[in-house]
């Protein structure tokens, strides 16, 4: 069997080691459900490239990592990518973690794994500038923090494994001028007046009245079914306003 046929039979996204390096090298992928940084990729005489990887939380460390066959079933044939969406990131100037939203850039690129050049990091206005009386939770913007900054945190590992604080705990414990995600798609934004808004991706879609009721904005009411089907959404009632 030719080396080229080996790659085809495993149904990857490359035809040789050079392409594998271009698509995966210097990026974050999942290995056994955990985000790992691909330090480098080398060819092997058996036609199955080896990747030198280490946990994404060690990005920036001086190490080569562990050598793994790219055909290892723990890579899942690279069909499942690391988490995008909400991550509760600990900014250095904030006492509590704050939700940021990760979104893949739409422009063409050759990378299959995620890196700073392929992922936007968007954060709410409470992070981007001084707090004001009218903090707009829709004012999310890209800022200088890169995906690499986010990927090296335990919070990102938790996001990849679907580990978030519950909605009930978030509503009980969130402080004013804070934004906390309770899953990859949704977060609670508490403005500086103590009002608790439901944020989907980067848009405001409703207002909580206590821990049991959400008043959903009329123009966003089409999200009702999605919310009710989400086991992490624990409110007992959704009303329109």
Strand partners, 238: 214
pLDDT at 7: 44
pLDDT at 9: 45
Distance CA 11, CA 7 (A): 6
Report the mean per-residue pLDDT for the chain.
85
Could you tell me the CA-to-CA distances from 106 to 101, 117, 118, 120 in Å, in that order? 15, 11, 8, 10
Q: Are 124 and 179 in contact (CB under 8 A)?
A: yes
Q: What is the average per-residue pLDDT within 150-177?
A: 94
Instruction: pLDDT band for 83, please (50, 70, 90 cuts).
Output: very high
pLDDT at 183: 97
What are the counts of helices (DSSP H) followed by strands (DSSP E) for the chain? 7, 14
pTM (two decimals): 0.84
pLDDT at 52: 92
107-130 exposure pattern, b = at least 16 Cβ within 10 A, e = fewer: eeeebbbbbbebbbbbbbbbbeee
Q: How far is CA 49 from the centre of its chain?
A: 28
Instruction: pLDDT band for 88, please (50, 70, 90 cuts).
Output: very high
Residue 12 has pLDDT above 80, yes or no: no
Instruction: Say which residues have a Cβ less than 8 Å from residue 92's Cβ, sequence separation at least 6.
Output: none
Residue 101 has pLDDT above 80, yes or no: yes
More confident residue, 70 or 241: 70
CB atoms within 10 A of CB 157: 20
Distance CA 212, CA 214 (A): 7
Residue 19 has pLDDT above 70, yes or no: yes
Q: What is the average per-residue pLDDT within 138-145?
A: 63
Q: How far is CA 199 from the centre of its chain?
A: 15
What is the rounded radius of gyration, in angstroms, for the C-alpha atoms of the chain?
Answer: 21
CA count, 13 A, side-chain hemisphere, 139: 12
List pLDDT tens digits, range 115-133: 888 898 888 766 654 433 3
Instruction: pLDDT band for 14, please (50, 70, 90 cuts).
Output: confident
Q: What is the average per-residue pLDDT within 152-157?
A: 92
Q: What is the average per-residue pLDDT within 73-98?
A: 88
* Helix H or strand E segment including 180: strand 178-181
Distance CA 11, CA 46 (A): 17
């Amino acid at each position: 069997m030719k080396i080229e046929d080996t790659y085809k039979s495993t149904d990857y996204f490359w035809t040789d080691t050079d392409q594998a390096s271009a698509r995966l090298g210097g990026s974050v992928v999942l290995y056994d459900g955990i985000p790992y940084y691909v330090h480098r990729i080398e060819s092997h005489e058996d036609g199955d490239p080896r990747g030198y990887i280490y946990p994404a939380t060690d990005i920036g460390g001086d190490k080569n990592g562990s050598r793994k066959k790219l055909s290892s079933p723990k890579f899942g044939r690279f069909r499942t990518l690391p988490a995008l969406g909400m991550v509760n990131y600990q900014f250095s100037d904030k006492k509590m973690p704050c939700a940021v939203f990760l979104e893949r850039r739409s422009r063409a690129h050759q990378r299959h794994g995620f890196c700073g050049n392929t992922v936007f990091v968007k954060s709410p206005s409470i992070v981007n500038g001084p707090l004001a009386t009218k903090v707009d939770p829709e004012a999310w913007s890209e800022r200088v923090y890169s995906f690499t900054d986010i990927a090296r945190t335990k919070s990102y590992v938790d996001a990849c494994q679907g580990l978030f604080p519950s909605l009930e705990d978030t509503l009980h414990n969130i402080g004013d001028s804070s934004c906390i995600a309770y899953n990859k798609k949704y977060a609670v934004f508490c403005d500086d007046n103590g009002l608790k808004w439901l944020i989907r991706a980067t848009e405001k879609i409703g207002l909580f009245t206590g821990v049991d009721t959400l008043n959903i904005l009329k123009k966003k009411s089409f999200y009702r079914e999605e919310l009710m089907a989400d086991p992490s959404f624990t409110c007992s009632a959704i009303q329109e306003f």
